[in-house]
Amino acid sequence: MSAFKVALIDKTLEQIPEWVFPELKAAGIDFVYGNCETSEDLLKLARDVNMLWIYGGNQLANAENLPKLKDCTAVIRSGSGVDRIDVDAATEFGMVVVNTPHAHHDAVSDHTIALIFAVGRQMAAQDKYSRPGWQRRDEFLPFWSLRQKTLGLIGFGLIPQYLVQKLVGFDLDILVYDPFAPDALLESKGVKRADLATLFAHSDIVSVHTPLTAETHHLIGEKELKQMKSSAILINTARGPVIQEEALVKALKENWIAGAGLDVFEVEPTTAENPLMNLDNIVVTPHTAGISGESVELTWRLSVEACIDIANGYYPRSYVNRKVKPRKALAQKSR
C-alpha cells in the first residue's frame, strides 16, 4: 500500500518547524512541500495528494483545482478561517475541510479585549497627542467605562465564548447573534440571543466573530452602522469583508459611531492610502490577533495532528463541512 501523501503548498523549508518532518514520517505519511503560486505549481506538487495543506493566504484550493486532485480526502487550512478554500467544491468532491480554531481562541479573545479598551479609552489618540508633550488632559477623553455596558457578539464560536469568560468581572449584558448556536449553549454561557437590529441598537460594543461566507460578506454596512448608538464602538478581529469599509469610513467621519478597532481589512495588506488610516477614532493592528508564540506552535501541532488523524481514518478535531460524504470512510475518534 502506498503511503498517505500530504502536500503543504505555501511554505518553504525554513518556514517549517524541524519536528514536523520526523513526526509525519513516523506516522507513515509522505510529506511534500513548496511555495505554490499558480495552478501549474499546485498540480506539479500535489496532483496525487491525499491531503492538501494550506498555512497562509494561498487561494489555490478552488473549484478549478480541487476536482483535479482525484485522491484528495481532505483540505486543511491552518487557522480558524477557511475562506481561502472553496468549501462547497470540496464538499461536492468528498473532501473534508479542516481548520485549527483551538490554536487561536485564546490569542484572538485577548486581542479583542485589548482593542475594546484601546478604542473605548482612546489610547492610540491619547498616545499620539501626548508624545510631543502636553499641557491639557481634555483631548481625546475616554468614551466610557466598561462596567455594566452591553456587548453585542456577531457569531458565538470558541473565540467569543472565551471572550465572555474573560470579561465576566465587568458585569456586562451580552447579546448574541448566531443562527447556528443552540439555545442550551447560550443559556450555559449567560448570554441572550438577539436579532441583528436589536443587537446593533442596544450594544455599546459590537464585536465581529463570524466567518466570511457569501451570507456574511458586507453583513455590516451603512444601514447597520446607522442603527448603532453614537457612543458605540465596533471591533473586528474576524474577517475584513464582513464590514463594508466605505460605509465604516463614513460612519466614523460623521460620528454615527464613536470608534472602531480593526485587526482585519477588506483588502490585505492595507495601505496608507486607505481612508481609515487618516482617522483618529480607530485603532488598527495588522491581522495579528491570532498570533502569539504559543498559538503559532499550537497551530503547527494541531495541523500535524489533523494530518495524522485523516491518514489513520479518523475525523479530525475540527472540520467545517459537517454534511460532507468523504471519499475515504472516516470514523469518529475519542479524545
Question: Which residues are marked as active site?
Answer: 239, 268, 287
Under a CB-based contact definition with an 8 Å cutoff, are residues 119 and 233 in contact? yes
Q: Name every residue whose Cβ is closer than 8 Å to that of residue 70 and which is 6 or more positions away in sequence.
A: 48
Cα 308 to Cα 96, 179, 213: the distances in Å are 14, 33, 28
Closest CA to 60 of 74, 33, 78, 41: 41
Handedness of CA 127, 273, 290, 80 (dihedral sign): positive
Can you read off the three cell numbers belonging to residue 269? 495588506
Distance from C-alpha of 247 to C-alpha of 224, rounded to nearest angstrom? 10
Q: Please tell me whether the peptide bond between 269 and the residue prior to it is cis, using omega within 30 degrees of 0.
A: yes
- Separation between Cα atoms, residue 177 and residue 196, nearest integer Å: 6
> Which string of b and e fits 24-35 if b means at least 16 CB within 10 Å?
beebebbbebbe
CA 47, chain centre distance (Å) = 29
